[in-house]
Each structure stands twice: as C-alpha cells, then as structure tokens.
Amino acid sequence: MNLAAGSNQPAITYLNHETTVRSWLLTRDHKRIGVMFLVGVIFALLLGGIFAMALRIELLTPGPTVMAPMTYNRMFTLHGVTMVWLFMIPAIPSAFGNFVLPIMLGAKDVAFPRLNLASFYIYLAGSLLTVFGMLWSGADTGWTFYTPYSTVSPTTVTPILMGVFIIGFSTIITGLNFITTVHTLRAPGMHWTRIPLFVWTIYGTSVIQVVATPVLGMVLLLVAAERVLGMGIFDPSRGGDPVLFQHMFWFYSHPAVYIMVLPAMGVITEVVCAYSRKNIFGYKMVAASTFGIAFVGFFTWGHHMFVSGQSTFGSGVFGVLSMLVAIFTAIKIFNWVATLYGGSIDLKVPLLYVLGFIFLLMFGGMTGVAVATTSLDVHWHDTYFVVAHFHYIMVGAVLMAFLAALHYWWPKMFGRLYPERWSFLAAMTIIFGFIVTFLPQFLLGNMGMPRRYYEYPREMQWLHVLSTAGASLLAFGFGLIAIYLLWSLRYGAEAPVNAWGSRGYEWYSGSPPVPHNFTEAPRFEREVHDYTVAEVPRVY
Amino acid sequence: MSTESSPWEEHFGSRENQSQAAQLGMWIFLGSEVLLFTNLFVGYAVYRYYYPEVFVEASKHLKADWAMVQTLLLVTSSLFVVLAVHAIRQGRQLQTVLVLVLAIGMGLGFLGIKGWEYWEHWKEGALPGEYYRLAEVPERGGSLFFTLYFLLTGLHAIHMLVALGLLGWLVWGALTGKYTAEYHIPVEVGGLYWHLVDIFWLFIFPLLYLVE
C-alpha cells in the first residue's frame, strides 16, 4: 500500500481523495455516508439532551419551576421522539454499521451504494420534518402517540408523525442493504462462521428493521389520516378501537428496543475481544442468541398492555415470553465475562464503557424480568420505575456502546488518537452520572411517582434533585467528550494503522481506509479476533 | 463514475453476484411491503369481527362485477410482464417494449375503473370517517368499512402508480437499448414489483368485494 513519507498513514484516504462539499454530498462511499450519519445522530443526541436537561431542571422543585405544564408536556414528548427515532434507532447501525460492516466483510462497498446515500437523505428529510413540527408548536402526546388522545390533541402531531414515518423508510432501506451485503459481498475466505459478531448483530437488527418498521409506518400513517380525515379507526366515539393502536404500535416498538440494543451488543463483543486479547468464548452461541432475541422480541409486545384489559392468560403468556429475552441476553453476558476471564486485559476507555454497559444491562435486564411479572407490573405500571428500567436498558446500553464504538473506531475513522486521560475522566463521569440520574428513579417509581407528571409531593423532592444532579454530570461528561474529540481531529497524534493491536478484520484496511477500502483483495485465513496465532500486522 | 458507462458495478465480484444482490434486495423489499399492508388486513379482521352484519351490508355497495374486470386486467398484465422478462432474456428488445406497453395499458385501465368507482362512492356518500353520508348502512361500522376500503384500495392504487412509473422507465430503457440478453436485472426486479402489486389485489378483491 502507498504510505506517505515519514508516517504510517496511507497517503490517499477516503477523507482526502476528494475534498469538495459536492463530493461529500453526492458520495456513494459507505464510509462517508457513515460519517454523515454519525454527525446527524450526534446532533439528535444534543437536541434530545437539551430537552432532557430542561425536564430535569423543571422537576427540581415539586411545583412549577421554570416552565408551564403544557411546555413540560411538549418537552418530554420531544425528548422521547428525538432520542428514540432520531438518535437511538439509527445511531449504531446507520453510523458505525455503515462504516465498518463492508470493511469487516472484505467488501468494497455495500450492495446498493446509491440506496445507501438515499437512506441518509431520507433520514435527514424525516428528521427536519420532525424538528419542524417540534418548533412549530410541538406535540404533547408522548413519544408513543397513544390514541385516542393523539387523534384529537390540538398540538401539531401530524408533521411529527409524518417525520417518523419517513425516517422509517430510511431504516428499512438501510436494513435491506445490509442483509444483501452480508449475503452477496463477503470476500473469499469469509465463511458464515467467520463473520464478525458485530456484523451478525447488525444482520439480526436489519431483519427486525425490515419486518417491523412497515407496521409502525402504517400505524403512524393511520393516526395522521385519522387526524386529517376523522377516520375513526382508533376513535371509540366512531366505533374504532384505541387498544388496536397499542397492539400495532408495540408490535413494532418492542422489537425496536432490540433494534437499539442488538447492535450495541455487537459493539461490546468486538471491544471485549480486542481489549482482552482473546476470541469470544462461545462464538456460535453469541451469534445464535442474537437471533433468539430478534425472534422472541416479536412475541413480547403484549407486556406493554398488561393493564389495558387483555385477558389474564394473554398477559401471562406475554410475561413468560418476555422473560425468555433474559435467557438469550444472559448467554451474551456470560460469554463476555468468560472472554474477559483469563484474558490479557488492557483497560482502555472503550473497555471502560463495556464495564458500564454490562452493569447497566444487568441492572436494566433484571428489572425487566421484574416488570414482565404481571403482579409486579400492576404496581409499577406507568411509574418512574418503568422510566428508569427502559433508560437503563435502552439508553444506558445504547449510550455506552455508542461511546465505546466512537472511541474504539475513532482512530480507524479519522486516523487520530484522542487524549487518554481526558477520555478516561469523561467515561467515569458519564457512567457515574448515568447511575446517579436513573437509580433514584427506580425508588421514585416504587414510591408511586407516575411518569410524565409535572408536579409531585414534597417527600419525593430529594430523589428528583439527586436525579437532576446526575443529569448535570452526564451533560458535563458529554461536553468533555465533544471538546477532546473535536480537538483530536486537528491536533491529536496520528494513529498507527492498528491503534489497539486488534485482530478485528476491519483493521485489515488502512486507518483511515483508502477510498475502496482495500488496495488489493484481503485474505481471511484465521478466525476473527484470533490472538493465538502469530501475525505480522498487515494492511490490504 | 463507472456506473454511467457500464451497467455492471465494480464493487460486485461478478455479474451473477450483482444479479443475485438485486434479486435478494428486491425480495426483502417485497417482504416489507407485505407487512405494510398487513396492518390494514389486521384492522379489517378486527372490525369485521366487531361489526359482521354491517360489513356485509356495506360491501353490497361496491361494484363486484367491475372489480372482476379489474382483476382480469391485472392478472393478464402480469402475464405480459412475465413475457417481457422472457423476451429480454433472449435479447428481443422490441418485443419487450411491446408487451410492457400492453401491461401499462391494462394497469391504466385498472386505475380508470377505480377512479370511476371512487366517483360513484363520492356521489353516494360512501366515504370514510366524518365524511360518511350513506343512509342505508349504519354509520357505526359502515364508516369503518369504507375507511378500510379507501385505505386498502388507495394504498394499492398508489403502489400501482409507482409500479406503472417503473414499467414506463423499463420501456424507456428497453427502447434505448440499455437492456440486453446479458444485462436485464432491472426488468427482472421491476417485474417482481409488478407481480407484488398484482398479488395484493388478489387479497383485497375477495376480502372487500366477495366475502359475505
């Protein structure tokens, strides 16, 4: 490969071979599209984070603090909509999946590069429409758009519904692109049993995206049509059934939790292997459990509806099916721990996030089993306990994995190293801040604090103050990360081609990679993350 | 950009590889399209269960005989699309254009009948939701039937329009000689999409027009 003089970086990379704005906006290179998605989801994270801070500040005192009740309702809706649809669902698959998946398979690009670019612009259009709806007057329905309220709410729900509907197309296209890529573009030597586990999880996620997203799209379209035409599908006064909405909505939105968490698990697997210098303990079990979660995830939607009047038998069945997810998740957790055990552990920042991830996933997962128990759920339903549970499992897991991926692949993507001490401090702040934010909310929920409430009894104030303090720490940690990562883009030390000495296949390409990923066809002769064989570092 | 001069894209290992990818991608997309319609079929099942008599009564206000004509048009057009794929595989571009134009004509005929049917519903007042004015069928249930009717047939009609655009684009490609006996992936996957639209109708037709 061609190296610049006096450096171990490739001279021509995907970043510098063309530098015009036009070459970025019309690119078909999956790496550039991944970077654009990364910028997009980080903006969404910032926006959702600002809404979250506003909520936490409002809840500092029992009565009104800084905003009116209606503003508060809009804030929590916008926080949820932004975080779920604009950040968590596309974050890892669309940004990091796009960047590393083809490289890991030894492919030059994804199967449909033009569709890939379209997927980004569809995401952008949907996001802009959603943000436009927010700025216009904002919805007050909560991110779940429950009917019949969402069909009559005087706020601007329709543009937000349509925005999320459009983003759904982006999700479907990305999913089908990845599935096709995995099936048709594997390089010679890339057998099914050699595919990196990150790719397996993205594949499983893509299957859920393709199967579940159309159902969500249609149900959002129905609510929008109901608002515009007064159709009455979900309006009981016209003979419709509001519970039907919940069935359709959760048929998508529960599997959507795994759209968020599965890629996160994939990242964690890569990082665990790289920093314990060992291949994963049980490759096949981890790959299979991905599909176990993806499959069972489709039969658990009823656990959102324990108190909606469905039959006791139905609730019981949904409860037991939901608990099955814990078994598949435990397979993964045991495998990560078993991989760490006896490994040559290098506690770099990405691995720190892995430890945070395992703690939050365990805690969130165990409380998940608790709320899947019908008798307990009747007590905790629609309280802060549920809020804390899903923040631990969805937000905690996605955030930890997102940050782990960001730090692990940063040198790969931009060819620069970030300052180790600052990143360590930021990681500790984030993990600690997260626990301080959401642990009190379990207690609040158990005391009976309902979700989405503007006011609360004075006895609960200290827990709310604690939670807001944690949120402030989180905000501080994010600020720190933003500063040193932006700093490193310009002033960071140049990264070696394989900054971590990882045996992941993506390091077979340059850091940053050349435009078509490889200068010659890569050969895959060992298992991924096989540290037992001696190997000269090589770049194709 | 190599893709402008040659239809073969360089990131695929071989031509068979590209063909496989295009087919697989289209099949996955078709699967997700099926699930898009599933919501409406589920809604239909639920409300038919809630209002069985009203649904039967309301369906008598649809024009089943004309729907039969539409069905014949669609199924025949699908046959022509199959013939187009067959022709282009042997490199007969003119024949491909001819049968595709016939298929497009039948699709337009289908949409014409649909438009006229909608107009009749409009005059009768058989409209969705709050615009429902059909006196003979009770509003509770009746308005839901027509809501689902318009959603199902409307969504199908939108898909028809997209599919017709696709066929038109294939005609253009065949006329300009872009497709040959070697390279005919777009005709194959475009044809698949047309068959999907056809199959949706084969479910919608009995559910709305025939079931009693």
pLDDT in tens, B30-39: 999 999 999 9
* Pairwise CB contact (< 8 Å): A176 & B33: no
Mark yes or no for CB contact B24/A184 under 8 Å. Answer: yes
pLDDT bin (cut points 50, 70, 90) of residue B5 is low
Judge: A239–B28 Cβ closer than 8 Å, yes or no. no
Looking at the complex, report in whole angstroms how far the Cα of residue A213 sits from the nearest Cα belonging to chain B: 8
Residue A323 distance to chain B (closest CA, Å): 26
Nearest to B144 among A177, A240, A248 (CB): A240
CB-CB under 8 Å, A217 with B28:
no
- The C-alpha atoms of residue B42 and residue B170 are separated, in whole angstroms, by 34
Residue A107 at interface with chain B, using a CB cutoff of 8 Å:
yes
- Amino acid B135: pLDDT: 85
Whether residue B21 lies within 8 A of chain A, CB to CB, comes out as yes
pLDDT of residue A9: 60
Mean pLDDT, rounded, for B88-104: 95
| Chain A residues within 8 A of B38 when measuring between CB atoms | 214-215, 218
Question: What percent of chain B has a predicted confidence (pLDDT) above 70?
Answer: 98
Closest of A525, A524, A408 to residue A104, by C-alpha: A524
Per-residue model confidence (pLDDT) at position A189: 87
Nearest to B144 among A115, A179, A232 (CB): A232
Q: What is the largest CA-CA distance in chain B?
A: 64
Q: How confident is the model at residue B7 (pLDDT cuts 50, 70, 90)?
A: confident
Which stretches of chain A score pLDDT less than 50? 1-6
Best B4, B26, B35 member to test A by mutation, with max A CBs in 10 Å, is B35
Extract the tokens encoding A380. 């905790």
Using an 8 Å CB-CB cutoff, list chain A residues near B13.
Answer: 185
* A-proximal residues of B, 111-170, CB under 8 Å: 128-131, 139-141, 143-144, 147-148, 151
User: Tens digits of per-residue pLDDT, B75-84?
Assistant: 999 999 999 9
**Contact flag B147-A232 (C-beta cutoff 8 Å):** yes
The DSSP H or E segment spanning B185 is helix B185-205
Could you tell me the pLDDT band of residue B128, with boundaries at 50, 70 and 90?
A: confident
User: pLDDT tens digits for B11-64?
Assistant: 888 888 999 999 999 999 999 999 999 999 999 999 999 999 999 999 999 999
Pairs of CB atoms within 8 A across A/B: 115
Question: What is the radius of gyration, based on Cα positions, of chain B?
Answer: 20
8 A C-beta contact, residue A497 and residue A539? yes
Average pLDDT, chain B: 92
Q: What is the mean pLDDT of residues B187-193?
A: 95
Taking CB atoms and an 8 Å limit, are B144 and A213 in contact across chains? no
The answer to whether residues B145 and B47 touch, using CB atoms and an 8 Å cutoff, is yes
The A residues from 116 to 175 touching B (CB cutoff 8 Å) are 172, 175
The three-class DSSP label of residue A321 is: helix
| CB pair distance less than 8 Å for A218 and B28 | no
Nearest Cβ partner of B35 from A176, A185, A214?
Answer: A214
Answer yes or no: do B28 and A179 touch at CB < 8 A: yes
pLDDT band, residue B8 (cuts 50/70/90): confident
Beta-carbon contacts of residue A386 (< 8 Å; ≥ 6 apart)? A371, A380, A445, A451
Residue of A nearest to B19 (CA): A184
**pLDDT at residue B1 is higher than 60:** no
Residue B132 confidence class, pLDDT cut points 50, 70, 90? confident
Q: What is the DSSP letter of A237?
A: G
Which member of A113, A183, A233 has the closest CB to residue B144? A233
Among the residue ranges A174-178, B129-133, B144-148, the one predicted with the least confidence is: B129-133
**CB-count burial class (<10 Å; 0-12, 13-18, 19+) for A407:** buried
Q: Do A180 and B28 touch (CB under 8 A)?
A: yes
Measured between CB atoms, does A238 come within 8 Å of chain B?
yes
pLDDT value at residue B3: 44
Comparing CB atoms, the residue among A176, A231, A238 nearest residue B29 is A176
Nearest to residue A133, comparing CAs of A54, A215, A74?
A74
